[in-house]
């Protein structure tokens, strides 16, 4: 298996590491709402990342015309589910907004980390 094929699995593992580090970094503040917001945001973004990865795997495994339509439909569905989930978390559950934003940044931090790591090689 070459390096490119291993990349999605490496990103998925590193997402969990970054989430744990962010959670551990929030604990000394003693603000449980912040830590909960980071956890919830991290779980939402990791779930969205895994859903996107699964959709892309299906698209690349079976590249037919119908698969592209299903991918585009899935894309819109993913965005709608993400919008509804975030609206529910902010408006109904009242998750700490700052913590939620930090948690939602897990995948972005991961991508920056990977880019910097590859640039330094």
What range does the domain containing 64 cover?
8-119
3: in domain: no
Q: State pLDDT tens for residues 16-69.
A: 999 999 999 999 999 999 999 999 999 999 999 999 888 888 777 876 767 778
Residue 1 has pLDDT above 70, yes or no: no
> 3-state secondary structure string, the chain?
CCHHHHHHHHHHHHHHHHHHHHHHHHHHHCCHHHHHHHHHHHHHHHHHHHHHHHHHHHHHHCCCHHHHHHHHHHHHHHHHHHHHHHHHHHHHHCCCHHHHHHHHCHHHHHHHHHHHHHHCC
Q: What is the spatial distance between Cα 107 and Cα 14, in angstroms, rounded to a whole number?
A: 9
- CA dist 72 and 76 (Å) reads 6
91 within a domain of the structure (yes/no):
yes
pLDDT on residue 65: 66
pLDDT at 6: 84
- Residue-wise pLDDT for 53-67, tens only, equals 888 887 778 767 677
Residue 86 has pLDDT above 60, yes or no: yes
Q: Domain for residue 1, yes or no?
A: no
Cα gap 117→115, rounded to integer Å: 5
Mean pLDDT computed over 115-119:
90
Q: Provide the domain count of the chain.
A: 1
Residue 2 lies in a domain: no
Q: Are 88 and 24 within 8 A, CB to CB?
A: no
pLDDT of residue 24: 96
Residue 57: CB atoms within 10 A of its CB come to 11
Looking at residue 27, its pLDDT comes to 93
């Amino acid at each position: 298996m070459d390096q490119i094929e291993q990349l999605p699995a490496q990103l998925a593992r590193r997402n969990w590491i970054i989430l744990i580090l962010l959670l551990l970094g929030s604990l000394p503040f003693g603000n449980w709402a912040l830590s909960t917001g980071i956890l919830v945001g991290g779980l939402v973004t990791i779930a969205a990342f895994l859903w996107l990865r699964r959709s892309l795997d299906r698209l690349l495994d079976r590249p037919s015309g119908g698969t592209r339509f299903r991918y585009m439909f899935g894309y819109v569905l993913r965005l709608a589910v993400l919008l509804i989930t975030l609206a529910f978390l902010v408006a109904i559950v009242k998750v700490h907004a700052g913590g939620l934003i930090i948690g939602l940044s897990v995948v972005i931090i991961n991508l920056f980390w990977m880019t910097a790591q590859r640039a330094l090689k």
